[in-house]
Amino acid sequence: MDPARKRRVRLVVALTAAVLLAGALVWASFGEAEGAASPSRVLRDRSGRPYQMTGKVVTGSIRHEGEKVLFRVRDRNGTASVPVLYSGVVPDPFRDGREVIVSGHMSRGVFVGQRDSLVTKCPSKFQSKPSGKTI
């Protein structure tokens, strides 16, 4: 095979491999993806699909019952809230009012969280916390 043809063959092989791998990637990602949803969205959907629910912990709603934690999550800007039953590691920053992400699905009116899926966002360091106007 002359060099030019060899190069073309290599290029075709490489491109084909790339296309196949890209296809596998896209297929894997869309197949595995979990929809992110706010509590009000989760409440609206009655299908029991798995979701990644994001929102804020309702103040005063945290209860530890043995190994499980019960709390409520509300919309970031709203009051619609969902009760959550979760077991697994509770991240250090988990408290009233913190933003959380928990994966799971609705079952009989309670959002059952997947084990260890609770993520609490580090409280915003990049936002001013102390009250008082800046000069």
Partner 1 sequence: MTGAVGFACLTIGLLAALYAAGAGAYAGHTGRREVAVSARRAIYCLAGLLAVAMVMLESAYLRSDFSYKLVAQNSSTDTPTFYKLTAMWSSQEGSLLLWAFLLSAYSSLVLLATRRRLRDIAPWATAVLGVVAAFFLSLMVVFGQDPFARLAAPPAQGNGLEPLLRHPAMMIHPPLLYSGYVGFSIPFAFAIGALIRRRTDAEWIRATRRFALIAWTFLGCGILIGALWSYSELGWGGYWAWDPVENAALMPWLLGTALLHSVMVQEKRGMLKVWNASLVVGTFTSALIGTFLVRSGVLESIHAFGASTLGGPFLAFIAVVLVGSVALVISRLDSLRTEARLDSLLSREAFFLLNNLVLVALCLVIFWGTFFPLISEAITGSKESVGPPFFNRATVPLALVLVALAGIGPILTWRRVTASTLRRALTAPLAVAGLALIALVAFTGAGRSGPSLAMFTLIAFVLAVVGQEFARGAAARRLVSHESWPAALAALVARNRRRYGGYLVHAGIAVLLLGVAASSAFHAQKDVRLLPGQSTRIDGYTVTYRQPTAAILDDRAGTGAPLSFGAVVDVRRGRQHWVMRPSRNYYAATDGTGGAIGRFFMGDSTSEVDLRWGLRRDVWSAIQPDLTSLIAPIRVADRRFANAPGRVQALIIAALAERYRTHAPAATFRFIVSPMIAWIWIGGAIVLLGALTALWPAPEARRRRATSLAAARLGRELSRA
Q: How far is the CB of 39 from partner 1 (least distance, A)?
A: 15
| Chain positions contacting partner 1, by CB under 8 A | 3, 7, 10, 14, 21, 25, 28-30, 32-36, 52, 54, 64, 66-67, 87-93, 95-96, 99, 101, 103, 116, 119-130, 132-135
Measured between alpha carbons, how far is 70 from 102 in angstroms, rounded to an integer? Answer: 12
Q: How far is the CB of 16 from partner 1 (least distance, A)?
A: 14
Which residues make beta-bridge pairs with 101?
54, 119
Q: How far is the CB of 11 from partner 1 (least distance, A)?
A: 12
Which candidate, 52, 64, 66, places its Cα nearest to that of 111? 52
**DSSP 8-state symbol, 96:** T
The residue (of 7 and 110) whose beta carbon lies closer to partner 1 is: 7
The residue (of 89 and 110) whose beta carbon lies closer to partner 1 is: 89
Which candidate, 65, 72, 51, places its Cα nearest to that of 114? 51
Q: Are 90 and 63 in contact (CB under 8 A)?
A: no
Q: How far is the CB of 83 from partner 1 (least distance, A)?
A: 19
The residue (of 86 and 108) whose beta carbon lies closer to partner 1 is: 86
Q: Give the DSSP H or E segment for 73.
A: strand 68-74
